[in-house]
Amino acid sequence: MNNHSCEQEQFVAATLRAGALDTQLLAHAAACPVCSDLLLVTEVLQKDSASLERDLHVPDAAVLWKKAQARAKEQAIAKATLPIRIVRICAYILAFVAAPSILIELSHGPAWFPDLGLKHLSSIDANWLAALTGTTFLGIAATILCLALSSWYMLREE
């Protein structure tokens, strides 16, 4: 035995958890400051724990189960939509990075740019307008298709 520990300490603790100490261990505990503290603290805490557990009201397991199910569903949705959120963030970043160069490029563009070309739309070269229309239609179609697919993907669980 030293100031911090006693070789009987673990045995006393295990015996206390199993039940009461026998007279031999009680005699040892009376003489040993480490085991004396151990005995006092363990008895007091165990009595307090037993009394507290009797007094406590705990919610039913079903409440926790439902709450955990709802949490799991939220987590699953967050996990499933993670690629969408990543792509959206990438798109924002790309737009932010590309915006200055697009603006610079357009500032040297055609004279109709300051008016956004709306009133000069009819005077734009016909071939260019035809190509723009085809590309625009393709873009619109791809966007609608992507929206439909992502909506289906999001709502299929519902």
Binding site for another protein (CB under 8 A): 4-5, 13, 16-17, 34, 36-38, 40-42, 44-49, 51-53, 56, 58-59, 61, 64-65, 67-69, 71-73, 75-76
Q: How far is the CB of 85 from another protein (least distance, A)?
A: 17
Q: Which long-range contacts (CB under 8 A, 24 or more apart) does 93-100 make?
A: none
Q: How far is the CB of 72 from another protein (least distance, A)?
A: 4
- Could you tell me the two tokens for 12? 């006393």
Question: Which one, 50 or 144, has the nearer CB to another protein?
Answer: 50
Q: How far is the CB of 13 from another protein (least distance, A)?
A: 7
C-alpha closest to that of 87 among 146, 13, 132: 146
- Which residues, 6 or more positions from 13, have their beta carbon under 8 angstroms from its beta carbon? 38, 42
